[in-house]
Structure 1
């Protein structure tokens, strides 16, 4: 497998009803990529892996929104 090609996966918190969905690629060296599932060509966020992990940990502590 080519580690320079993002391997996108849909967030486990994304619903199946066409609502807010994000995809994450965390197989890239030194960066985590995040994009909107509904607008894949609309841009990609590049996040430092440690910052991404901090975000995920905080999101787990806060629980579901809504």
Structure 2
């Protein structure tokens, strides 16, 4: 399966820090949209959901 990487609709193309996500076989891939060939972080669906929630709750210092 070839992963389909996508950016959030909220991301901008004005030099912002953007990530892309893709559903992989049993995990979620996360990578830097500016450097897609540098590899990606692999998270379980539960880890990805927890990370997303922490971002939404403004818990992380981004």
Superposition TM-score, scaled by structure 2 size: 0.79
Matched, 1:48 2:44: yes
Q: Of 5, 30, 40, which aligns to 2:2? A: 5
Q: How does 1:1-66 map to 2 (within 5 A)?
A: 4-26=1-23, 28-62=24-58
Unmatched tracts of structure 1, length 5 or more: none
In structure 2, list runs of 5 or more residues that go unmatched.
none
Superposed structure 1 runs of 4+ greater than 2 Å apart: 11-16
Greater radius of gyration (CA): 1
Following TM superposition, by how much is the alpha carbon of 1:51 offset from its aligned partner in structure 2, in angstroms?
Answer: 0.4
TM-score by structure 1 length?
0.75
